[in-house]
Amino acid sequence: MYRLHCFSQSGNSFKVAFFLRALHQPWEAVFVDYMNGLTRDASWREQVNEMGEAPVLEDGRRRLTQSGAILSYLARKHGAFGGRDDDEQQEVLRWLLYDNHKFTSYFATYRFMKAFGASAPDPAIMAFLKSRIDAAFAIAEKHLATRAFIVGEAPTIADFSMSAYLFYPPEESGYQVAQSHPNIAAWLDRVRAIDGWAPPYEVLPGERILPKW
């Protein structure tokens, strides 16, 4: 059985949990008390993940970190959602890197600062992040105007990766994707239809925290 070190506010954890559910693989959640600083603890970093991040996936003696790497590993191991041929697999990698660098990166930072930060966020920083979110989302919105999924005709790990943070309640980010990006919204509905999907706060361990700001 897989063991997934994770917590409920982590969209990167949800990417992996959702994918395990879609693969119909049994897994055990190991709660990471991120909000109270567990990942900054030196012993946790020494024993679990030197990068100080969740998720961490245990597969027997193998321990994997970074959601994109974990998704790629699982897709290869189970022969599913990785792309049908070399061309699609290359496209999946391209979009995973885009997601980690831009699409999720800016949005997740913006959401964390707005919903969970220790102090009210600097408006100038939030405005900068919002501009980067808008630019990244515009690319995906145009891309999804002519296709059902990010790569090819069926869902891949690129869809699991790019969609995850958008399944959290919009009040956490203040970003109303359903109103501003109709193609992304329609795509999210298609991803929700994948067997195994459920809302992040129903899948992952830990209590929900109401937005602070």
How are beta strands 56-59 and 27-31 bridged, if at all? unpaired
The domains located in the chain, with CATH, are 2-80+198-203 (3.40.30.10), 86-192 (1.20.1050.10)
Query: In whole angstroms, what is the distance from residue 189 CA to residue 39 CA?
Result: 33
**Measuring CA to CA, which residue among 172, 168, 173 is closest to residue 203?**
168
Tokens 């999804």 belong to residue: 144
- Name the strand (E) or helix (H) holding 85: none
pLDDT tens digits, one per residue of 5-56? 999 999 999 999 999 999 999 999 999 999 999 999 999 999 999 999 999 9
Planar angle of CA 139, 140, 145, nearest 5 degrees: 105
Strand extents, DSSP E, 26-170: 27-31, 56-59, 62-65
User: Which pLDDT score, from 0 to 100, does residue 75 have?
Assistant: 98
Provide the token pair at 116.
């969970």
pLDDT of residue 52: 97
Q: What is the pLDDT of residue 125?
A: 98
HSE toward the beta carbon, residue 188, CA cutoff 13 A: 20
